[in-house]
Structure 1
Amino acid sequence: MAELPPRREPATVRHFARITDVALAALTLVFFVAAALATGVHNPWQGSIQLGLVLGALLVVRRRRPMTVLLLSIVGIFVYHLSGQWSPAGWIWPAAVAYFTAATTPRVRWVAAIGLAQLVYSAVDARWILDTNPTRYLIHVLGEGLLLAVLVAAGLTYAAATRWRERLREADRRAHVAEERLRVSHEVHDVIAHTLAVVGVQLNVAADALEDDPAAAAAALRLAKDIRNRAMADLRSLITVLRDSPADTAPQADLASLDTLIADTRAAGLEVTLDERGDRAAVPAMTAIAVHRVVQESFANTLKHAGASRAEVTIGYGLRSITVDITDNGRGVPGGDVTEGHGLAGMRERVNALGGALTAGPAPGGGFAVRADIPVAGSTA
């Protein structure tokens, strides 16, 4: 199958991200100005508000240009300090969000190097504190260094968690593809098995009637051709699942195709009676497909192996479950031992996948019987 396109975040996630960035921009401005006022800045319009606006505005585009936002934020902080303004919140904190965002990118080593260079400069710039208050100087340097380490570590952790979630999503997508391929293989088997059984019967009829009744032989061959054409259409619709454009996939055979299936089987020489109890229109799609395939595979087995002349199909459409019974008057199974081939195994897997159960074996009055109990999705027991 074609490689899946890059995953696009849902619109709600993108809107929430934009709202988060705007909120962080507003908080950066408010906190920076509040810290300036709390640390003795009497007129925040002399640089504090301007720097807060710049730092906040840059955060609006931090997801698209994380390294550019980080570098411009640091430049803004340097300009603020070099203009002789008092730093109300240190060197690292005003660019905390920018550091965190940049640390989530593959350029985390550059982020650490830039932060270390800023720390060295801040330690040199604050050396005047060392002469008057060594403890305060130590707290200043270690605090800035610890904050930088926390921001880089948080960015790395967030990036690792994001990659892990992406791997989980990729694993889910691959599992879905594998399940789809398995489903297609079951569908292909069912279609081919039924088609070969019915066409084989018609070819035998044509061969037997070729000399005595050419018209009957021609009719049998035409019917075999029609069934073959329908099977090819079914196979084409299944194979499109494995191609690049899943949108081209045609609907799978379900209860709407049940009448055609029975008509084809009758044309193959098997007398079929259908007894439906309930409303087939209320059956969910996946359950309907399973019912159709169980009946189809049962007919194929009857035509190929049972030597039967009659088959009875009883389908009960309940509110909580669907019951499918198929019996024939064939020769049954010698000794009562059922050898489960691909057909029965495929039916059982299909029914079990929907939470149901399938039994198959000799019928009490002779012949062979298949029974499937399939719960209706969303029902309660």
Structure 2
Amino acid sequence: MAASPPRREAVPARHLARITDLALAVLTLVFFVAVALATGVHNPWSGPIPLGLFLGALLLVRRRWPMTVLLLSIGGVIVYHLTGHWSPAGWIWPAAVAYFTAATTPHVRWAAAAGLAQLVHSAIDFRLVLDLNPSRYLVHVAGEGLLLAILIVAGRSYAAASRRREQLREADDRARVAEERLRVSHEVHDVIAHTLAVVGVQLNVAADTLEEDPAAAAAALSLAKDVRNRAMADLRSLIAILRDGPEGTAPQADLASLDTLVADARAAGLEVTFEEHGDRAAVTAIPAIAVHRVVQESLANTLKHAEASEVTVTIGYGPRSIVVEITDDGRGASGAGAGTAGHGLAGMRERVSALGGAFTAGPAPGGGFAVRAEIPVAGGSTA
């Protein structure tokens, strides 16, 4: 199956990311300026507002250049202090979002190193307080260090959670691909089994009547050719799925093809009684494919293994489920047919069970072999 295209971020997610970055930029500006005003800064335009605008603007590109944003943010805070401005918000907090973002990248060690360097610079810059108020100095330095550690740990935790979510998404994608492969293998088996059964019977007819009745032999060969052409069309659709992935063209099997299956079986020599009850047109695609494949596989098994002359196909389309019953007058499970058709029966059972339905197959009470499938429709239940 073709490789999946690279995962692209959904448009709503990109919009949410932009809104989040804008909100963080505004919060950085507002909080930094508000703290400055609350602690006695009389002219915020001389320092806090320009620094807040600078730090906020950097956050708008933090996802694209996280380390660059962090280094520029640290540089802005240092220049702010070196020019004689006092920061009531400390050294680490103004660059908190930049630290967190950098910690989510593989460059977390460089982010931690830059943070330690900033902490050392902060401790040296605040050293005058050490002699006057040692407790305040320790609280300041320890608080800055604790904040830095929290930001680094939070960033790493967020990155690990993001990787885990991505791994779960990839595992889910692989499971869907495997499920699709299994479904396509069932489709291929059903198409080939039905085709070989009908074509085999027609070739036997042609071989037996070639000399005595050339017209009958020609008709049998013509029918075998038609069945083969239809099978090739089905196989081309399935190959397209394998080539293009699960989003490719779906198989063409549907309820409209049931009449063709019955006609093929009759042409192969079976006396087929086909009865339907309910509204066929109301059935959606997924259960319709399942019904088609159950009938197809059952008729193929009857032709190949049962040595039957008559088969009855009854389908009831109900509001909650579809009931499919196929009964023939062949050997049932007493002969080789049971073992030989085992793979086909297992495939039908898996297909019906996957839809939440019930499947049974075995000797019929009056002789022969019976298959019964109860398939839920949308919103229905077999209960």
Checking the alignment, whether the CA contact within 8 Å between 2:29 and 2:52 is kept in structure 1 is: yes
Cα distance in 1 for partners of 2:336, 2:177 equals: 39
Q: Deviations over 1:147-189 (max 9, x none)?
A: 0000000000000000000000000000001111111111111
Partner in structure 2 of residue 299 of structure 1: 299
2:371 is aligned to 370
Q: Map 1:105-124 to 2 at 5 A.
A: 105-124=105-124
Partner of 1:357: 358
Q: Percent identity?
A: 79
Instruction: Measure the CA separation in 2 of the matches of 1:337 and 1:250.
Output: 31
Q: Which residue of 2 aligns with 1:167?
A: 167
Structure 2 letter corresponding to 1:118: Q
Residue 309 of structure 1: aligned partner = 309
Deviation at 1:360, TM superposition (A): 1.1
Quick one: distance in 2 between partners of 1:332 and 1:134?
95
Residue of structure 1 equivalent to 2:253 = 253
Give the superposition deviation at 1:250. 4.2
2:334 corresponds to 1:334:
yes
Kindly provide the amino acid, as one letter, of the partner of residue 229 in structure 2. Answer: N
Q: Which amino acid aligns with 1:27?
A: L
- Secondary structure of 2:362's aligned partner: strand
Taking the TM superposition and a 5 Å limit, the aligned residue runs for 1:185-264 are 185-244=185-244, 246-264=246-264
Say which is worse superposed, 265-274 or 157-166, in terms of deviation.
Answer: 265-274
Q: Tell me the residue number matched to 1:126.
A: 126
Let me know the Cα RMSD of the aligned residues: 1.6
- The residue number in structure 2 matching 1:346 is 347
1:32-75 Cα offsets, whole Å, 9 max, x none, are: 00110122211111110010111111111111111111111111
What per-residue deviation string (whole Å, max 9, x for no partner) do you get for residues 104-146 of structure 1? 0010011001111111111111111111111111111111111
Deviation, 1:362, is 1.6
| 8 Å Cα contact 2:279-2:317 kept in structure 1 | yes
Q: What amino acid sits opposite 1:341 in the alignment?
A: G
One-letter code aligned to 1:110: W
Q: After the TM superposition, which of the residue ranges 60-69 and 1-10 deviates more from structure 2?
A: 1-10
Q: What one-letter code is carried by the residue in structure 2 that aligns with 1:370?
A: V
Q: 1:327, 1:367 within 8 Å by CA — same for their partners in 2?
A: yes
Aligned residue pairs, count: 381
- Partners of 2:32 and 2:89 within 8 A in 1: yes
Q: d(CA) in 1 for partners of 2:6 and 2:162? A: 15
Mapping for residues 8-23 of structure 1, pairs under 5 Å: 8-23=8-23
**Offset from partner CA, 1:287-311 (integer Å, 9 cap, x none):** 1111000000000011011112221
Q: Which residue of 1 aligns with 2:90?
A: 90
Offset of residue 2 of structure 1: 2.5
Pairwise CA distance, 1:245 = 5.3
Q: Could you tell me the TM-score, scaled by structure 1's length?
A: 0.96
CA contact (8 A) 1:336 1:361 kept: no
Unmatched tracts of structure 1, length 5 or more: none
Name structure 2 gaps, 5 residues minimum.
none
Contact 1:336 1:362 in 2 (8 A): no
Distance 1:267 1:338 in 2: 24
Query: Which letter maps to 1:90?
Result: G
Cα contact 2:306–2:337 (8 A) shared by 1: no
- Give the CA deviation at 1:8: 1.9
1:162 aligns to what SS in structure 2? helix
Question: How far apart are 1:248 and its partner, in Å?
Answer: 4.3
Offset of 1:9 from its aligned partner? 2.5
Of the structure 1 ranges 5-14 and 203-212, higher mean CA displacement relative to structure 2 is found in 5-14
SS in 1 for 2:105: coil
What TM-score do you get using the length of structure 2 for normalisation? 0.96
Deviation of residue 20 (structure 1)?
Answer: 1.0
- Distance verdict in 2 for CA 1:251–1:154, change over 3 Å: same
Task: Provide the C-alpha distance between the structure 1 equivalents of 2:144 and 2:32, rounded to a whole number of angstroms.
Answer: 16
Distance 1:35 1:46 in 2: 15
Deviates more, 1:52-61 or 1:288-297: 52-61
| 1:247 positional shift | 4.8
Residues 306 and 330 in structure 2, CA contact (< 8 A), matched pair in contact too: yes
Residue in 2 that maps onto 1:146: 146
For residues 315-326 of structure 1, the aligned pairs below 5 Å read 315-326=315-326
C-alpha change, 1:302 and 1:335, in structure 2 (3 Å) is closer
- Counterpart residue number, 1:279: 279
Q: Return the offset for 1:194.
A: 0.7
